[in-house]
Amino acid sequence: MKKSRFNLGSAPVGERLWILNASARLSPYPYPENMPVFQCPDLPPEGYQVSLHVIAGNPMHSKHQAHVATACKIIREICLHREHKAVFIATDKDKGAKGTKGAGAQDIAAAVRDSFGAATTIVHLERGRIRGSNEAGECTFACLAGLSLFTTVDNVGAAASILTRRTIPVIPHVFSPNGSLNTPGGRFKLKIMREIYALSALDELYQTLWRTAVRNNGRVEGIVVVPDAEWLSILWRTVMPGFRTHAVHKPSARGFKIDLSMDGMVFLMGVAPGREFQKQDVAKLLGYKGKDAWKENKARIMHVLGPFFEEGENVQMLKRRVAFTGTTRL
C-alpha cells in the first residue's frame, strides 16, 4: 500500500502501518502505548451468525474422547434432522496405531450422517491443515470436539516468561514436586499462564470456526469445548460478539447435563443493554446457592461479569451496560 494512498482524514499518524486481523484482539502482547489503533465501526459483528453447542471441559487431547462422545450425543439427540448439507469436522492429527485415529472423526462422521442424512458432505481437516484453508467454506455445521486447543507447556511457559520478563520457576509454579503438571482444577496455577492458554486456545477456536460458511456471510451451527464462563466472556468481548448458544453441556454418567453456571453467563451476556437484575438472582443464574449467594461470591461474579454489568438504580440491582468494557485479561 502506498503511503500517499493511506488517508485517515488527518495528519500522518506514523511511519509504519500495521494491518491487524481479528486475531489481534486475542493477542496477549500489549501494543505500544503511543500506537493508535483504528477500526471500522460500520463492519457488522459476525458473531451473530454463529450458534454454539458448548461442551464444558478442558480442550486438551487427553480429554478429547469424552468430548467426542458428548458431541456425538448432541448431534444425534439435539441436532437430529437439522438441515445441514455440508459439515466440517476439525480434529488433531491422526496418530495411527499409537493414538485415536482421526481424533474421533469417524465417530463424529457417523453421528452426522445419522442425523443429517447419508448424503451429507463431510469436510475433515486435521491440525496443520486448518488455518488458511477454504475447503470448509460451504459448511454450515462445525464440530471441534476432537480438536485440542492446547499446544505445549513449554510454549505457554515461554510466552509467560517473555510477557513478565522474568524466569518462572518450573517447580512449584508449573510442575509439582512429584513431577506432575500443577494444574489444580484443570487450570494453570499461575494467572499469566492461564491467560496465555485461554487467549491462544480461543484464537485457535475462532480461526477454525471461521473456515466455515460464516466467512461467506452464512449462518453456522457449531460444537466447541471451553472450560469456564471466563472463556465465553472473552469470546464475546473480542472476536465473536453476539454469538448465541443452544446450551452448555457438561458430560455426565448419563451422557450430558446442562452446566447452569456457564449457561447463565451466556444468558446474561446476551440481554438487552439497560436491563436490570436483582444481584441475588444473578448469583443464582450463575449456579451459586444459598441465601447469601451474592454476598459470598460477589468478587468472583464481578470478575467475570464486570465488563458487561454495572451498578443498577439501587444497591440491590445490576444493570447491563450499554457497551461492555475491559480487555481480554481474565
* Dist CA 328 CA 330 (whole Å): 6
Position 139 pLDDT exceeds 90: yes
Do 53 and 141 lie in one domain? The reply is yes
Q: At which of 269, 284, 307 does a domain end?
A: 269
User: What's the pLDDT score for residue 123?
Assistant: 97
Backbone angles phi, psi at 144, to 5 degrees: -110, 15
| CATH code at position 223 | 3.40.50
Do 315 and 239 lie in one domain? The reply is no
Question: Could you tell me the pLDDT band of residue 74, with boundaries at 50, 70 and 90?
Answer: very high
Q: Cell numbers of 197, please?
A: 492458554
Do 72 and 193 lie in one domain? The reply is yes
Position 98 pLDDT exceeds 60: no
Q: Which domain holds residue 210?
A: 46-152+181-269
Helices 229-237, 191-209: inter-axial angle, 10-degree rounding? 60
Judge whether 94 lies within some domain.
yes
Do 78 and 106 lie in one domain? The reply is yes
Q: Cell numbers of 89, please?
A: 469436522
Give the side-chain half-sphere CA count within 13 A for 76: 14
**3-class SS of residue 227:** coil
Say if CB 153 and CB 119 are below 8 A apart: no
* Residue 20 CB neighbour total at 10 angstroms: 12
Q: Cell numbers of 145, please?
A: 470436539
Structural domains of the chain, count: 2
**Strands lying side by side in the sheet with 309-311:** 276-278, 317-320, 309-311
Do 252 and 281 lie in one domain? The reply is no
Do 201 and 301 lie in one domain? The reply is no
User: What's the pLDDT score for residue 270?
Assistant: 86
User: What's the pLDDT score for residue 96?
Assistant: 53
- Residue 184: asked if its preceding bond is cis (omega within 30°), the reply is no
Judge whether 66 lies within some domain.
yes
Question: Could you tell me the pLDDT band of residue 295, with boundaries at 50, 70 and 90?
Answer: very high
Q: Cell numbers of 326, please?
A: 475491559
Judge whether 245 lies within some domain.
yes
Do 86 and 132 lie in one domain? The reply is yes
Do 128 and 211 lie in one domain? The reply is yes
* Dist CA 224 CA 222 (whole Å): 6
Do 106 and 233 lie in one domain? The reply is yes
